[in-house]
Amino acid sequence: MAMPTRAERSRVVTVDGRSLRVLVSEPLARYTTFRIGGPADFLVRASDRATLESALIWAEREGLPVTVIGGGSNLLVRDGGIRGLVIVFRAPGESVGELATAAQDDGSVLVTLPATAPLSWVGHWASEHGLAGMEWAAGLPGVVGGAVVNNAGAHGGEIGHVIVDLELYDLPSRRLVRWTREQLAPRYRMTALKALSQPRSLVVLGARLRLLRDDPARLLAFAEEHARWRRMHQPTGPCAGSVFTNPPGTYAGYLIEQAGLKGFRIGQMAVSERHANFFVNLGGATAREALALIEAVQERVAERFGIVLQPEIEIIGES
């Protein structure tokens, strides 16, 4: 029997007079950079706040738990997928348009970003406008919402350094709330939001950053150099960035490489030859294979160096 097409698996529901397209039993592999992940019971693609709100209201009406993802570039979704509604909250950079800015007396500028804005686009936009603090983000996948949760960073910079505050939607109270940087408590690839277990009750709607005035030519040169470095040193196939956080004083990639694991493979999942802390999906890999590879690498590195590597990627969904 032929598999139902996506059109056959989608339905349109009406929420407060607005139409909302809901995909049923939608494979999450389509929304993660690993190209891995079982089905979401229901999935809505939202690129603006109004669609997000309609989806949240619909989920509440149907009694469904809600998981919000952005670029899916820091996620390993298990093969059983995710129960309830998954909202993919992201938008193309061009649709974000000019960002709201407010100049401050101390030479800094407050920039208000929507959670849907692609991180790489933000890196280029800020550099072009002579605003320093986000140039490290050029070439990084994902969107602002996911970067805030993970406290993404590279080349010595991180989003937590420049966050002033966040606008969030609190699902249980259905109210907008504001979190200061102190409440987010950003540290190395971790925040108070990431520490909450999924499905979380808070959705990031936007972030305010404090950026410093600088020379656009200098910032653009940095941004381009960072993006070029990525193209040269990181794999291009389906992956999810660094699998493990760096242990204090050393690098996870170095330990994996020294343990002789470059190219080591389980099923269709392999340790990248280019960067040992990146695992690549060689085509059709499952989460089960990815998890087996993670475990095997942890064991071999622990045997050799006595260090247990901790995942940086977030593992969610049902097995």
Residues that bind ligand FAD (CB under 6 A): 33, 68-75, 89, 115, 119, 140-143, 145-147, 149-150, 152-154, 189, 203-204, 234, 239-241, 314
- Residue 1 Cβ, how far from ligand FAD at the closest point, in Å? 33
Of the pair 142, 255, the CB lying nearest ligand FAD is at 142
Of the pair 111, 204, the CB lying nearest ligand FAD is at 204
Longest dimension (CA), the chain: 67
- Determine contact, residues 162/131, Cβ cutoff 8 Å: no
Q: Is 249 exposed, middle or buried (0-12, 13-18, 19+ CB in 10 A)?
A: exposed
**H/E stretch holding 179:** strand 175-180
- State the CB neighbour count (10 A cutoff) for residue 60: 15
Give the active site residue among 200, 242, 272, 289: 242
Of the pair 111, 159, the CB lying nearest ligand FAD is at 159
Identify whether 90 is a catalytic site residue: no
- Determine contact, residues 231/144, Cβ cutoff 8 Å: no
- Residue 72 Cβ, how far from ligand FAD at the closest point, in Å? 4
* ∠ CA 35-5-117, rounded to 5°: 45
Which residue in 4, 40, 42 sits closest to 23, CA to CA? 42
Cα separation, 250 vs 270, in Å, equals: 22
Which residue in 167, 173, 172, 192 sits closest to 182, CA to CA? 192
- Determine contact, residues 39/26, Cβ cutoff 8 Å: yes
Identify whether 19 is a catalytic site residue: no
Pairing of strands 175-180, 131-132: unpaired
Give the active site residue among 78, 181, 189, 200: 189
- Residue 8 Cβ, how far from ligand FAD at the closest point, in Å? 27
- Taking each helix axis from N to C terminus, what angle separates 119-128 and 216-233, rounded to the nearest 10 degrees? 150
Please name every residue paired with 218 in a beta bridge, in sequence order, or none if there are none. Answer: none
Of the pair 108, 160, the CB lying nearest ligand FAD is at 160
Of the pair 8, 170, the CB lying nearest ligand FAD is at 170
What does DSSP assign to residue 143? Answer: B
- Residue 68 Cβ, how far from ligand FAD at the closest point, in Å? 4
Cα separation, 29 vs 34, in Å, equals: 7
- Residue 5 Cβ, how far from ligand FAD at the closest point, in Å? 26
- Residue 307 Cβ, how far from ligand FAD at the closest point, in Å? 21
Of the pair 137, 261, the CB lying nearest ligand FAD is at 137
Residues 6+ apart with CB under 8 A from 195: none
Identify whether 289 is a catalytic site residue: no
Can you read off the two tokens belonging to residue 96? 């974000």
Q: Which residue is nearest to ligand FAD (CB)?
A: 146
Give the active site residue among 53, 135, 289, 312: 312
- Active-site positions? 189, 242, 312
